[in-house]
Amino acid sequence: MRTNIFSRTLLAAATTVALAAGSLAAAGTSFAAPAPAPAAAQPAAVSEAVTPQAVNNLGLSTSQAKKVQRWLKTYWNYRGSIDGKLGTNSWKAFQRCLKKYWGYTGPIDGVVGKGTIKGLQRLLKDSYGYRGAIDGIAGAGTKAAFKRFANAH
């Protein structure tokens, strides 16, 4: 009979320890941070909420970029500050010029992509010594001619 009591006591103790260990494990996870929601369940980012102001001076110094901004303000409805940083608003004004006279067909979005560079290259080829291809790549020749453009204004 002593063996039976000993077995029951041992079984009760083991069960108690197992339950306690399980409770602690469950308690540890109940205080953990919730798992992140799947990507599909998260709300989509609104593009207007975070719009970085991209600056692309295409090799111009701050003083040269200020000259371009003054020219854009005078002729192409640029309303930003004259800060020497050709950002989105500067390039929107420039795209208006390029669209009217230099074959730019893209949106007026201020993004300096291949279309914007091609329009700029046409302008630079006509009057500022650009001799390269109209390829939409702002290489050394494009940047040198753009500096001549800036210095002329």
Q: Which of 96, 87, 49 minimizes the C-alpha distance to 69?
A: 87
Angle at 123 between CA 55 and CA 106, to 5 degrees: 60
The answer to whether residue 23 scores a pLDDT higher than 60 is no
Pairwise CA distance, residues 16 & 70, whole Å: 82
For residue 26, the surrounding DSSP H or E stretch is helix 2-30
- Burial string for 74-107 (b: 16+ CB within 10 Å, else e) reads eebebebeeebbbbbbbbbbbbbbbbeebebeee
For residue 30, pLDDT beyond 50: no
The two tokens of residue 82 are 């004259």
Residues 6+ apart with CB under 8 A from 63: 84
pLDDT at 54: 79
User: Which of 7-11, 35-39, 98-102 has the largest mean confidence?
Assistant: 98-102
Q: Quick one: pLDDT band at residue 85, thresholds 50, 70, 90?
A: very high
Confidence bin at 131 (pLDDT 50/70/90): very high
pTM: 0.65
DSSP string, 88-153: HHHHHHHHHHHHHHS---S-SS----HHHHHHHHHHHHHHS---S--SS---HHHHHHHHHHHHH-
Beta strand ranges found along 11-101 (DSSP E): none
| Extents of the domains making up the chain | 62-152
For the residues 127-150, what does the mean pLDDT come to? Answer: 95
- Amino acid in position 32: A
